[in-house]
Amino acid sequence: MAVGIFDSGLGGLTVYDAVSKRLPDVPLVYFGDNAHAPYGVRTADDIYNLTTSAVERLWEAGCDLVILACNTASAAALRRMQESWIPPEKRVLGVFVPLIEALTERQWGDNSPPREVAVKHIALFATPATVASRAFQRELAFRAIGVDVEAQACGGVVDAIEEGDMILADALVRSHVDALKRKMPTPDAAILGCTHYPIMETAFQEALGEDVRVFSQANLVAESLADYLARHPKMLGEGTESLFLTTGDPAKVSRGATQFLRRKVEFTKA
């Protein structure tokens, strides 16, 4: 059995990268729904249907454990999937929960009532769609009280990263951090709530200053997964061969992925 990693596009490759570094012996299957990206502009029903199709495809590929490395799908579809759709022998893990568990210093699956936490002022950096969904604030409210979240919709950053213009991406990140600081001058912690942003983590940290702890989803998801697999060794398969599937044009997606990860990645048709 392999671990499945799903994203609407290429952003989830930062999660793939963090997981493959943290767990080099775990075989991974990446599924990019590039034919239907971006999800941020779709209806919740549409996102639910596309996400469940992709997860079924990953189950067929032998992945009993699937990570939704897509903030939009995690925000719009995961709760509904967990309530009625995922069979007991399968696991689907989103990208918000590990982040919120890290912020609130909880273990995975700790469903105790919300409580006070050390970080009081949190800066959330995410895409306009994720900010508009308010999913992060909702999930956080289940687990923490007395926390003030200020969100900054970082328009343009994903486009600049996908175009490979890192000078522009860096400048845009700094402008968005400045905009956030005009609303919240001294955050305790910052959340990079988009799977593309780990690529810009240094720019975020420098613009925020060294006193602000930056939480990046890719590493937190890799840690959560390592914890979970240590407790559930049966979910683990053999072999270390990774597989990359896409609903889009494999040649085009492979070129984009190779540029995005700065190493050769070969996609095949899903």
Interface ranges with its own copies (CB under 8 A): 38, 41, 128, 153-160, 163, 165, 167-168, 171-172, 175-176, 178-179, 182
Q: How far is the CB of 224 from its own copies (least distance, A)?
A: 31
Q: Can you tell me the distance from the alpha carbon of 24 to that of 262, in angstroms, rounded to the nearest whole number? A: 18
Q: Which of 13, 70, 95, 100 is catalytic?
A: 70
Element (H, E) at 215: strand 213-216
Looking only at Cα atoms, what is the longest distance across the chain?
51
CB 104 within 8 A of CB 117: yes
Catalytic-residue membership of 194: yes
Catalytic residue among 67, 192, 194, 225: 194
Nearest distance, CB of residue 248 and its own copies, angstroms: 15
> What is the separation of C-alpha 12 from the centre of its chain, rounded to a whole number of angstroms?
6
Q: Residue ranges for the binding site? A: 7-8, 39-40, 71-72, 195-196
Round to whole Å and give the CA distance between 196 and 158.
6
Shortest spacing between CB 175 and its own copies, in angstroms: 4
Pick between residue 175 and residue 205 the one whose CB is nearest to its own copies: 175
Is the CB of 143 or the CB of 176 nearer to its own copies? 176
Cβ proximity to its own copies: between 164 and 239 the closer is: 164
In the complex with its own copies, the residue whose CB is nearer, 36 or 57, is: 36
Shortest separation between residue 173's beta carbon and its own copies, angstroms: 10
Q: Answer yes or no: are the C-beta atoms of 1 and 237 closer than 8 Å.
A: yes
Q: Which residues belong to the annotated binding site for substrate? A: 7-8, 39-40, 71-72, 195-196
> Residues with Cβ < 8 Å from 148, sequence gap 6 or more?
120, 121, 122, 184
- DSSP-assigned beta bridge partners for residue 145: 116
Which active-site residues does the annotation give? 70, 194
